Structure 1
Amino acid sequence: MQESLRALLELQKTDQDLHELEQYKVDIPNQLETMETVQSEAETRLSDQESKVEDIEKNRRQHERDLQAAQEQVKKYQGQLYSVKTNKEYDALQAEIQAQKNRISELEDGILQLIDEAETEQETLETIRGETESLIERFGEERTTLESRLSAVDEDVAVKMDERKRMAMRVENQVLKVYDRIRRNLRGMTVVPIKKGACSGCFHVIPLQVVMQIRQGRRLVSCESCGRILITEEGLEY
């Protein structure tokens, strides 16, 4: 029985390795998906900022066109002043000229404000672009590493599965059946030591008589609470 338990502990270690590898097969795709989401959000933020800068520039160019049109209107009305025949027509033209001059002043102020705004948003754009490019570069390297690791995991699983088959052959058939049944029903360790008089899997107190039976090593002893296979805290030296 002792030899079978030793083989069982080795089998359990292999099963733990397999569990970790299988967890990698879940975790790595999740990490890749998270990276894709973060990168997509960063690219969207960059695109939004580019659009913001472009909209400001479009608005500035429109202001400049409107300014040019207003200036041309002033010249036109000023030229007409010399051909008017009545004071009423003269006053009307002066009013139009003043209105256009007011418009020009507003447009010039607006253009200056848009220039300042464009400079600020352009600086923000360059910062975001730099951050996004750095992130894409870093994620590219990490993605390559993770994909390589994921490919290696499949190979490692195959190796560990072969190793498990060999180890399982060293365990008594009845013991192996009990072990596999417990492993299917419980998370974590299947074979656990008694620590401070209790099962280290569920912390159920183990009677001294049962501890003595485990030390004798004549038969397989399971925790009556959780069903895990018990060994002494010292291991299998008895």
Structure 2
Amino acid sequence: MENTVAQRIEALSKVQQIDSELDAIRKLRGDLPEEVQDLEDEIVGFETRIENLKRDLAEVEANIDQYRGKIQDFKKRIVYLEEQQMNVRNNREFDAITKEMEMLDLDIQVAQKKIRDNEAEEKIKRERVLSTKDKLEERKKDLSTKKSELDEIMAESEVDEQKLLKQREKATKHLDERLLRSYNKIRENSSNGLAVVSVKRGACGGCFNTVPPQRQADIREKKKLIVCEHCGRVLTDVEIIEEPEPAPKRRSTRGRKAATKK
């Protein structure tokens, strides 16, 4: 059976009341959930950076080993050429071997420079690994502290929160999907989380803009959903401000005093 407008308004007010209580509970957590998430993301970033640095280190070490191997090969070749040089038959062969030995000596110098460059890079990357590991440990300690604080707060409010969530689920069953979607959208765009408010002192309880008397009358009748023309919040009720009773007038004694003098 379709709910009447008054029932839908009542259900909206109930959902808003529950959501406000949930907001109050979650407000106690402050920025802890976001801080925990940020720390977890930062830790993953540091771990990824360390893995990348280790992979780069392995490549640098492989390069160093490769150049050292080349140097050994060059030196073996030079020893072989020195032996061959002793058995040359003419100056042309001697000069050719000498030239090749000089080229090999240059190759050795180039390889040695490459080793020095790679060793310098290796040193920098190892320092970065250690520095990143230190930062990682600091973040892990911060995360442990923040998680403990959050878990403590969550434990204190978990029962109440679960109870309210069940109440909310029950209350939203009286709302159609379109209305609930609109309600949630208004809440998301509201800084205070209020999508359903009352008219207080002739003004919207959300944006405090004046609500015309005729619209206030329509709100009281609850025959249709009325939204604020300025902020779009649903207006569900009009608070009646009771006028204070006038103070009794004090009787003037001026006339009585004048009669006494006569």
1:198 paired residue among 192, 198, 203? 203
Query: Which deviates more from structure 2 when the two are superposed, residues 35-44 or residues 141-150?
Result: 141-150
Alignment correspondent of 2:213: 207
- Give unmatched runs, 5+ long, in structure 2: 1-12, 188-193, 228-233, 246-262
* SS of residue paired to 1:227: strand
- Percentage identity across paired residues of the two chains: 18
The change in CA–CA distance for 1:19 and 1:82 in structure 2 (over 3 A counts) is same
* SS of residue paired to 1:229: strand
Shift of 1:143: 3.2
1:44 paired residue among 36, 42, 48? 48
Q: Which has the larger radius of gyration?
A: 2
Equivalent residue letter for 1:87: N
* SS of residue paired to 1:85: coil
- 8 Å contact from structure 1 (residues 193, 199) kept in 2: yes
- 8 Å contact from structure 1 (residues 221, 230) kept in 2: no
The change in CA–CA distance for 1:12 and 1:92 in structure 2 (over 3 A counts) is closer
Alignment correspondent of 2:9: none
Alignment partners' CA distance in 1, 2:114 and 2:242: 83
- Give unmatched runs, 5+ long, in structure 1: 1-8, 165-176, 212-219
TM-score by length of 2: 0.59
The change in CA–CA distance for 1:96 and 1:151 in structure 2 (over 3 A counts) is same
* SS of residue paired to 1:84: coil
TM-score by length of 1: 0.64
Alignment correspondent of 1:230: 238
Equivalent residue letter for 1:205: V
- 8 Å contact from structure 1 (residues 221, 229) kept in 2: no
Cα-Cα RMSD:
4.5
Alignment partners' CA distance in 2, 1:100 and 1:235: 105
Does 1:114 find its partner at 2:118?
A: yes
Alignment correspondent of 1:90: 94
Shift of 1:97: 0.7
Shift of 1:30: 7.2
The change in CA–CA distance for 1:121 and 1:230 in structure 2 (over 3 A counts) is same
Size of the aligned set, in residue pairs, is 206
